[in-house]
Structure 1
Amino acid sequence: MSNDPSDRPDDGQNPFKGTPFEQLFGAAMGGGAAGGPAGFPDLNQLFGQLQAMMQPYDGPVNWTLATDLARRQVAAEPDPTPSQRQRDAIADALRLADHWLDPVTPFPSGVQSTAAWSRAEWVEGTLEVWKVLAEPVAQQSVEAIGGALPPEARAQAGPLIGILGKAVGAIVATQLGSGLGGLAAEVLSVSDIGLPLGPQGRAALIPTNITAFAAGLDVGEDDVLLYLALREAAHQRLYAHVPWLREHVIGAVCDYARGIQVNAEGMQARMEEQLRGIDPTDPAAMQSLLEGGMFEMPKTPAQEAALQRLEIALALVEGWVDEVVHQATSERMPTAGKLQEAFRRRRAAGGPAEQTFSTLVGLELRPRRLRDASTLWGSLRTRQGIEARDGVWMHPDLLPTAADLDDPLGFREDASKPEALTEDDFDAELKKLLDGE
């Protein structure tokens, strides 16, 4: 007799009859170790083991697990609390940075307070924004998995869907914890990756990471600190005085989440492949299952569009920061060119932590088009001045597009700085206006 559940007599107990889930849940309801196909585990036992591994938590992500994992990863290396001397040095550098930025952008200072953070404090200080970024993705993943089932199957599989939800929440928490712990060892400031991760107006730098970063450069640590303070202060100005920008960036992640769809047949094939040979009583095997992308889903066109909007927005933010810091330092800091190139290479290369988040939500933390964006902003400033350059941020519809980044020197190439009118010219133009011309 065939071991395929679809070949067995239909006893009316399998609500998935005739769907891509028939074999998968047929095994769960009566097969595997309890009499199902050889090498295919009892999914009741499998999900029971998953449920036993997961502590109760509210919401789509187990944030307690994610935070604990990140803190443990951070604690694996020395993470001293910044000294008062370091806090004072960072506050002084940020004040000087704002003074240098005043002549090169009409946006006033956005720094309301300063801080020197340890790596662990960075994890805690940015956690609320990571919740906003990650929870829609996890929640929509669970809903998409449930929505892929036929209605009659969904009604009978309610408890199973709940367990799947906890499994997704555990997967996301594990990946987030690992990613946050890795990022904490790499980031140099709260705005380092371009996202508005901290409380509004709170400029924070991580001295332990700055010291390690400066050790690999042929530049004094004081110059590195000031250059980082300039970048942080520029980020703070932009997000403080472009009120729609924070929502625009975070909204792109939420749009990505809303576009999640599940291909039921494809998910069944992936689950079957990964479940074969898994021993549900072996914690190591279960952990490999959770880390093996069991619930990974291909991106939809809507998601690809949302991610492109996010990547372009981050590139424009980083390009603008690169441009204004270059203007502020061009005549004051001889080492600025070397530091600018070091930061551009760092942005382009990324690291393991960025790859973790890219795998999780497809989020590109290191914009690949930084150089193009910086060139675009610089060209616009040269032709029209800093007010016209920064005026582009008045509305999201005015922002350069991906096509504009393909030709950064051509953005508004027909526009030039308006010439000042003489008094006679002004009178002549006013007369034309009044005469209805």
Structure 2
Amino acid sequence: MTSIGGAEMVDWNLAVATATRLVRPGPEVSRDEAREVVAELRRHAKASEEHVRAFTRMIPDGHEPEDTPVLVVDRAGWVKANVAGFRELLSPLLEKMRERRSGTPGGAVLGAVGGKVTGVELGMLLSFLASRVLGQYETFAPASRELPAGATGGGRLLLVAPNIVHVERELDVDPHDFRLWVCLHEETHRTQFAGVPWLRDHLRNEIQSFLAATDMDPVTVLERLREAAQALAGARPEGERDEDGRSLVELVQTPEQREVLGRLTAVMSLLEGHADFVMDGVGPQVVPSVAEIREKFQQRRQRGASRLDLALRKLLGLDAKLRQYRDGERFVSAVVQQVGMDGFNRVWTSPNTLPTKAEIASPADWVARVHRKSE
């Protein structure tokens, strides 16, 4: 890993240790119940493949894409997997920082101290998220003995068993139906990347472009952080408004990053909205209580768990994540209504047929652009 004088720019081991120490314990379950939950999630993940492929028609009959493993993990396992993913994605940025700092007096000391501080901060963030994520398709997943991944450099499906059990109890829904419903959403993500071979590289390139545009000038970064803190505290000058209600993450970006983020937001809205559309589309056939689950789950998404939860969601930009589900599902639903599932699937033809951020909000514009020639 990138280091200066032996000191990592991010102390990844400290991040894992901090997160696992701070993360809240999961729900109480007996050993036998835990084994049954794990076994059922694996069965549902396998069954979801056929349901999702039949509904989406993204993978032709007789075609078997690269298999990616399904891992049922606890909260600590989710933390370890995500730290590994961060190391993979952030290595170019950290190398850039290393080169810039290596010529600075005291750079090695700053690297050692900064790595510890960043490790603790990352661990605190992951401890907050680790109790909330139900499942995750890891697109950029480096394989390890503890965490296997796809054979050609990416892909594993994580199902976080304690969180699934916690939410099904909180919502008071049928646990077997809820577990299958969650698996349908996550399996859709696995199908998206299995059925669209160019999608992983496209996302990686966009993320690397975002990181490459990072402003490395500390003075500029501090100035942006000051402005962000003022905005979030309501201390803007009189008459100056934050029309978008942007998060801390968005406020410290460069103009180049915001341009890339617009494209990434559109893609993520598509992927998340498509997964929600599929899970609800397949649901009535195989999940008897899907209507009750969806209603209760939407209410939970909107209200958050507490005032602190709502504040952290705003600060970290997680409210934008919730909008991606809503706006993306509306886009997919509208397009399927206009041109059918096969017409919608033209979205996966190439990066040029992906919707823009504006088209996510106006599906008819995407239909006009992509289907104009054939019409």
TM over 0.5, shorter chain = yes
1:389 has 2:344 as partner: yes
In the alignment, is residue 175 of structure 1 matched against residue 130 of structure 2?
no
Q: Deviations over 1:142-186 (max 9, x none)?
A: 666x5xxxxxxx96xx33233333343333212211122222211
Code of the residue aligned with 1:123 in structure 2: it is V
Displacement, 1:140?
A: 4.5
Q: Say which SS state the counterpart of residue 53 (structure 2) adopts.
A: helix
Partner of 1:288: none
The offset of 1:238, in angstroms, is 0.7
The verdict on how the C-alpha distance between 1:73 and 1:315 changes in structure 2, with shifts beyond 3 A counting, is: same
- Is the CA contact (8 Å cut-off) linking 2:71 and 2:159 kept in structure 1? yes
1:379 aligns with 2:334: yes
1:361-404 deviation per Cα after TM superposition (whole angstroms, max 9, x unaligned): x7887252322221221222233232221231121111111111
Cα distance in 1 for residues equivalent to 2:27 and 2:173: 24
1:87 aligns with 2:38: yes
For the Cα contact (< 8 Å) 2:23–2:131, is it kept in 1?
yes
**In structure 2, do the counterparts of structure 1 residues 134 and 196 end up closer, same or farther at CA, with 3 Å as the change threshold?**
same
Alpha-carbon distance between aligned partners in 1 of 2:334 and 2:23, rounded to the nearest angstrom: 42
* Residues 316/345 of structure 1: CA separation in 2 closer, same or farther (3 Å cut): farther
Residue in 2 aligned with 1:165?
Answer: 111
Partner of 1:8: none
Distance 1:56 1:337, change over 3 A: farther
Please report how far the alpha carbon of residue 251 of structure 1 lies from its aligned counterpart in structure 2 after TM superposition.
Answer: 3.4
Q: 2:52 aligns with which of 90, 101, 107?
A: 101
Q: Give 1:68 deviation, angstroms.
A: 1.1
SS of 2:333's partner is helix
Q: Are 1:66 and 2:22 an aligned pair?
A: no
1:326 equivalent in structure 2: 280
- Does 1:189 pair with 2:135? yes
The 2-side partners of 1:266 and 1:100 are apart by: 50
SS in 2 for 1:385: helix
Would the aligned equivalents of 1:381 and 1:389 in 2 still touch at CA under 8 Å? yes
Q: Of the candidates 126, 146, 161, which is equivalent to residue 82 of structure 2?
A: 126
Paired residues in the alignment total 328
Superposed, 1:411-430 pairs within 5 Å as 411-413=366-368, 415=371
Assess if the C-alpha contact under 8 Å between 2:180 and 2:287 holds in 1.
no
The change in CA–CA distance for 1:333 and 1:93 in structure 2 (over 3 A counts) is same
Give, in angstroms, the shift of residue 70 of structure 1: 1.4
Taking only aligned residues, the RMSD between alpha carbons, in angstroms, comes to: 3.9
In the TM superposition, what are the counterparts of 1:33-432 in structure 2 within 5 Å? 57=6, 59-74=8-23, 83-108=34-59, 112-140=68-96, 146=101, 158-191=104-137, 196=139, 198=141, 199-200=149-150, 202-262=156-216, 298-344=252-298, 366-413=321-368, 415=371
Q: Is the 8 A contact 2:8 2:111 kept in 1?
A: no
On the 8 A contact 1:61/1:170 being kept in 2, the answer is yes
**CA offset at residue 225 of structure 1?**
0.4
**Structure 1 length-normalised TM:** 0.63
Same amino acid, percent of matched pairs: 25
* Structure of greater Rg: 1
Kindly indicate whether the alpha-carbon contact (under 8 Å) linking 1:176 and 1:357 is maintained by their aligned counterparts in 2.
no
Contact 2:9 2:111 in 1 (8 A): yes
User: Using the alignment, how far apart are the partners of 2:304 and 2:348 within structure 1?
Assistant: 27
Deviations 1:192-226 (A, max 9, x none): xxx63653453332221111101221421111101
Provide the C-alpha distance between the structure 2 equivalents of 1:73 and 1:117, rounded to a whole number of angstroms.
17
Query: Which secondary structure state, in structure 1, belongs to the residue aligned with residue 14 of structure 2?
Result: helix
Q: Which residue of 2 aligns with 1:33?
A: none
Give the Å deviation of 1:229.
1.0
Say whether the 8 Å CA contact 1:61–1:169 is kept in structure 2: yes
How far is 1:59 from its partner?
Answer: 4.2
